[in-house]
Amino acid sequence: MSTSTTKSAIPESNYKAGADGLLLEVEDLFVEFHTPEGVARAINGVSFDLRQGETLAILGESGSGKSVTAQAIMGILDMPPAVIPSGAIRYCGQDLLTMNQEQRRKSRGPEISMIFQDALSSLNPTFPVGWQIGEMFRQHRGMNRSDAYAQAVRLMERVAIPGAKDRVKNYPHQFSGGMRQRIMIAMAIALDPAVLIADEPTTALDVTVQAQIMALLAELQEERQMGLILITHDLGVVADVADRAAVMYAGRIVARAGIEDLYAHPAHPYTRGLLESIPRLDQKGQTLAAIGGLPPNLTRIPSGCTFHPRCRMAQDICRTEEPALRTVGNQQSACHFAEEVLNG
Amino acid sequence: MADVILKADDLYKHYPIKGGVLRTTTGHVKAVDGVSFELHRGETLGIVGESGCGKSTLGRVLMRLEEPTSGTVNFDGVDMYSQGGSAMRKLRRDIQIVFQDPYTSLNPRKTVGDIIGEPFEIHPDVVPKGGRKAAVKELLDLVGLNPEHINRYPHQFSGGQRQRIGIARGIALRPKVLICDEPVSALDVSVQAQVINLMEKLQDELGLSYIFIAHDLSVVRHISDRVGVMYLGRMVELGTEEEIYQRPTHPYTQALLSAVPVPDPTMRGKREQIVLSGDVPSPANPPSGCRFHTRCFKAQERCSVDDPELMDRPDGAGAHRSACHFAEPRVIVETIDVSDLVPDSRYASTDVIDEDAFTDDDGVAPADAATMADRSHAMGESEGPLDRPNDIHTMIDDDPAEKRDPRA
């Protein structure tokens, strides 16, 4: 199972990572959805960067904007209703948002690729999986059918699908959930992308299968030195694999930290609330410290700090003034009382 | 605790597989394949297992939403499956169910009042006709929803609130047993914690017994007194929460526990992980002998022929029921020091205090009290209950416009 690739057909990449391995920079990104009920502000000024070989976790609950961020980077948002009023997404120094459709299409796959949450609805049920994996090679490298199938078998072997040769012409419904997710991963890594975005890759899977998939992702990242963006709401998975994490709430990044600091010394009340509200296998308490209330409706984001209606520490200033993301200790937090949360 | 309210004996539920032109039965999906257990009054029995292990079918069979292929359920001294007509209807009052998906288990055309009040229509003698609206409002209040919202429709509520509606419907008839089929799986963590707290509060107030079916081992551990682990239609291990999580003897339980990611980055690479190969075999054609032998790291010749019985096997400190020929205790989850996370006293004050939320008597069984005290140090809870945040099940749903867009 050597990873020898067909040298002849690989086009030269137009992109070179920055000197310090900088691959991706998202700067002050805004995304809005124009709906009949009003403008839903899904992302409100999100900035982060990603380097080679690094795993960045984007944590958040449903509706926090984490998947929209991923779709904006991939350029697969439906526009309209989505609008990107401002911001920049720079890949190797070039702004993806100012590129034309053709340039972006060419970047999807060889440069940036994505694994979706629900493998069954992301795969086409009417084509064999080998055909779908091979499509990457046919479209981007102009390979013929039989070569593309051979590549598909190689990739299926790489993601440890037993009997890859015999199963390459099977259809998605003939595979189990874990195997389908492996096929999605095979498609995503087919063209050796520099950035891989995994949007809730294991949410639909059982824990034993989740462990297999996460181990596979970690192995592939190590092998190819990809920059991995892991989008999830599962604090356990993040603790196991991420180097850094950004916590999103109502379309903003409210906290950003190295993974150990995030768990040991959370500097934002929301992060802290999240950590306290998960029942843990290694502790048994009687009452969970839940965060009261609900995440806000994105068409009516609260004034000031978006978290203030649910925050235990909210003061008058939180209702009127939006806190900026600022450095506290060796992490960042968007809270007026970040120091107190950190040292509390 | 010793008082048994529900006893399932050798339950089987096989679904026929029809095939061929004549639609003849060509096989059976053995969804539940010989499960026995008992539920004590006032306790929570957690049922865990991967998808397809038969845990939801078990819940439906216990509710008699499905007739079992064979086996008996003794509910409070009455044989459930031999009851017919009005006797069964009367029995149903005592055993109710909360479903997994709060989006599909509530009728979108009915108001919340109709949904929660429907049990009163079916059992009219529980609450007299004139008092139903008041009873529904009381239920809404009990589950932490605004009683004024009685005329709203399910789509006007968020997932967590809908699950509260499902729970209100489940407890409307004051059942003795509530079967909860993945009640929090569809919810976000912060909301999940609210619902778990609500369920614990209701158990204390109403003296309910829960059968809590879930795939999330951390949630099950948190809420359960005893836990049963299922694999391919069988119960493979059954014991108290402590026995299952601290001294698991079945290799499947051990693998399952080791696969749960611990939310602590300092544990990375230090935890022993048993990664199982392959997928769960099809319940239509389960492996011979021990069903787990195809994926088991301990499997030997004997396992493929000899089906191990679920019986008491030594676990190092005593014995609990396990179905493995080579049952051996193994420590999987290490208790770690998280003293950095000392709850903040400022967190105790909030403007949405629910006074009833904290009674010191949490119904901790004496056996658990020692372990609790033991761990309270690590949890930094030594400063007493005052340090715990208070807003555990108060909702902010006063603003009618606050509802989330269902598509958001």
**Is-contact A229 A41, C-beta < 8 A?**
no
Tell me the sheet residues that pair with A239.
none
pLDDT of amino acid B210: 93
Tokens of B194: 């609210």
Mean pLDDT of A260-270: 89
The CA-CA-CA angle for residues A206, B36, B28, to 5°, reads: 65
Chain B within 8 Å of A233 (Cβ-Cβ)?
A: yes
Q: How far apart are CA B251 and CA B244, in angstroms?
A: 11
Is a pLDDT exceeding 90 seen at residue A265?
no
Say what the pLDDT of residue B327 is.
Answer: 87
Q: B404 and A274 in contact by Cβ < 8 A?
A: no
In B, minimum Cα distance to A65 occurs at: B408
pLDDT-derived band at A283 (thresholds 50, 70, 90) equals low
Is 3.20.20.150 the CATH classification of the domain at B4-224? no
My answer on whether omega of the bond before A81 falls inside 30° of 0, hence cis, is yes
Cis amide leading into B343 (omega within 30):
no
Q: Is B238 a residue whose pLDDT tops 90? A: yes
Question: Which two tokens mark B158?
Answer: 């968020």
The answer to whether A191 contacts chain B (CB < 8 Å) is no
Which residue among B196, B268, B396 sits closest to A239, beta carbon to beta carbon?
B268
- pLDDT value, residue A47: 92
Q: What ranges in chain A are assigned the alpha helix state H? A: 66-74, 101-107, 119-122, 129-141, 145-158, 164-167, 177-189, 207-224, 235-241, 259-264, 269-277, 316-320, 338-343
Residue of A nearest to B375 (CA): A283
**B307 in contact with A at a CB cutoff of 8 Å?**
no
Q: Give B167→chain A minimum CA distance, Å.
A: 18
Domain extent listing, chain A: 20-232, 249-343
B316-339 tens-digit pLDDT: 888 899 999 998 888 776 544 333
Amino acid sitting at position B319: A
| Alpha carbon of A8: minimum distance to chain B alpha carbons (Å) | 36
pLDDT at A256: 92
In the predicted structure, residue B308 carries a pLDDT above the cut 60: yes
- pLDDT, residue B333, reads 60
Residue A196 has pLDDT above 50, yes or no: yes
Give pTM, 2 decimals.
Answer: 0.78
**pLDDT at res. A281:** 63
- Please indicate if any CB of chain B lies within 8 Å of the CB of A281: yes
Least confident window among A127-131, A226-230, B236-240, B270-274: B270-274
Residues of chain A contacting residue B358, judged by C-beta atoms under 8 Å apart: 287
Query: How many Å apart are CA A223 and CA B386, to the nearest integer?
Result: 50
- What pLDDT score was predicted for residue A282? 59
Q: ∠A308-A313-A316 over CA atoms, to 5°?
A: 60
**Tokens representing A74?**
């991939």
Q: Does A1 have pLDDT greater than 80?
A: no
Q: Does the pLDDT of residue B386 top 50, yes or no?
A: no
Which range is least confidently modeled, A118-122, A220-224, B249-253?
A118-122
- Best to test chain B binding among A205, A249, A284 (most B CBs inside 10 Å): A284
In A, residues 149-178, which contact B (CB 8 Å cutoff)?
162, 176-178
Mean pLDDT of all residues in B162-176: 90
SS3 of residue A73 by DSSP: helix
| pLDDT given at position A197 | 93
* Distance of alpha carbon B203 from alpha carbon A163, whole angstroms: 50
Q: Do A61 and B388 touch (CB under 8 A)?
A: no
| Tens-place pLDDT, residues B147-158 | 888 898 988 887
Chain A contact for B209 (CB, 8 A cutoff) = no
**Residue scoring higher pLDDT (B204 or B100):** B204
* SS3 label, residue B371: helix
Question: What pLDDT shows up at residue B377?
Answer: 41
Question: Token pair for residue A330?
Answer: 């060796």
CA angle B408, B185, B339 (to 5 degrees): 100
CB-nearest to B404 from A63, A162, A211 is A63
Per-residue confidence (pLDDT) for residue B55, from 0 to 100: 87
A48-57, B5-14, B97-106, B163-172: segment of lowest average pLDDT: B97-106
Give the model's pLDDT for residue B180.
92
In this predicted structure, what is the pLDDT of residue A76? 87
**pLDDT given for residue A284 in this prediction:** 61
* Confidence at A11, pLDDT banded by 50, 70, 90: low
Report the Cα A123 to chain-centroid distance in Å.
19
Cα nearest neighbour of A37 on chain B: B405
Residue of A nearest to B394 (CA): A292
Whole-number mean pLDDT of chain B? 78
The structure tokens 């009683």 sit at B147
- Read off the pLDDT of each residue in B181-193 and give the average, rounded to a whole number: 83
Would you place residue B348 in the very low, low, confident or very high pLDDT band (cuts 50, 70, 90)? Answer: very low
pLDDT at B237: 94
Between the alpha carbon of residue A333 and those of residues A31, A77, A256, B140, B289, the distances in Å are: 22, 28, 6, 37, 56
CB-CB under 8 Å, B275 with A212: yes
Q: Report the pLDDT averaged over residues B268-295.
A: 82
The SS3 of residue B257 is: helix
Q: Is the pLDDT of residue A181 over 80?
A: yes
- The band of B376, judged by pLDDT with boundaries at 50, 70 and 90, is very low
Q: How far apart are CA A240 and CA A243, in angstroms?
A: 9
CA distances for B266 relative to A232, A264, A272, angstroms: 19, 9, 17
* Chain B residues touching residue A214 (CB < 8 angstroms): 261
Question: Tokens in use for A211?
Answer: 């462990």
H or E element at residue A257: strand A252-258
Residues 6+ apart with CB under 8 A from B46: B212, B213, B214, B220, B221, B223, B224, B226, B227, B228, B241
Q: Where are the beta strands (DSSP E) in B92-199?
A: 95-98, 177-181
Question: Which pLDDT score, from 0 to 100, does residue A12 have?
Answer: 67
Nearest CA to CA, how far is A93 from chain B (Å)? 32
Instruction: Indicate yes or no: CB of B279 within 8 angstroms of CB of A295.
Output: no
Q: B396 and A292: CB-CB below 8 Å?
A: yes
The region, left, alpha or beta by phi > 0 then psi within -120 to 50, assigned to residue A241 is: alpha
Best mutation target among A288, A331, A343 (most B Cβ atoms within 10 Å) is A288
B271 or A23, which is more confident: A23
For B102-107, what is the mean pLDDT? 84
Question: How far apart are the C-alpha atoms of B369 and B359, rounded to whole Å?
Answer: 16
Of B160, B221, B280, the CB nearest to A281: B221
DSSP state of B8: E
Among all residues of chain B, which has the CA nearest to that of A40? B408
Q: Which two tokens stand for residue A29?
A: 């990104």
- Of the candidates A1, A15, A8, the one whose C-alpha atom is nearest the C-alpha of residue A193 is A15
Q: Which pLDDT score is estimated for A286?
A: 62
Name the average pLDDT for chain A.
85
Q: Is B391 on the interface with A (CB under 8 A)?
A: yes
Q: Mean pLDDT throughout B183-209?
A: 86
Q: How confident is the model at residue A233 (pLDDT cuts 50, 70, 90)?
A: confident
CB contact under 8 Å between A239 and B364, yes or no, is no
Helix (H) or strand (E) holding A90: strand A88-91
**How far is the alpha carbon of A16 from chain B, nearest alpha carbon, in Å?**
32
The answer, yes or no, to whether residue A127 has pLDDT greater than 50, is: yes
Which CATH architecture best describes the domain A20-232?
A: 3-Layer(aba) Sandwich (3.40)
- From A233, A239, A248, select the one nearest A117 (Cα to Cα): A233
Q: Where are the beta strands (DSSP E) in B278-402?
A: 311-314, 319-322
Q: How many residues does chain A have?
A: 344
- Say whether A179 and B279 touch across the interface (CB within 8 A): yes
Question: How far does A4 lie from chain B, in Å, by closest CA?
Answer: 26
Position A344 scores a pLDDT of: 72
ipTM for the whole complex: 0.78
- Mean pLDDT, range B392-398, rounded to an integer: 37
Residue A29 pLDDT: 93
CB crowding B180-214: b at 16 or more within 10 Å, else e = bbbbbebbbbbbbbbbbbbbbbbbeeeebbbbbbb
- The model's pLDDT over A329-338, given as tens digits with 9 standing for 90+, comes to 889 999 988 8
Q: Which two tokens stand for residue B163?
A: 């699950």
- Average of pLDDT values for B47-53? 87
Type of residue at A237: V
A17 — pLDDT class (breaks 50, 70, 90)? confident
A108 DSSP 8-state letter: B
Q: What is the pLDDT of residue B2?
A: 58
Asked if pLDDT for residue B395 goes beyond 60, the answer is no
Question: In chain B, what are the domain boundaries?
Answer: 4-224, 249-317, 341-403
- Chain A with chain B: Cβ pairs closer than 8 A: 219
pLDDT given for residue B405 in this prediction: 45
Q: Are A111 and A80 in contact (CB under 8 A)?
A: no
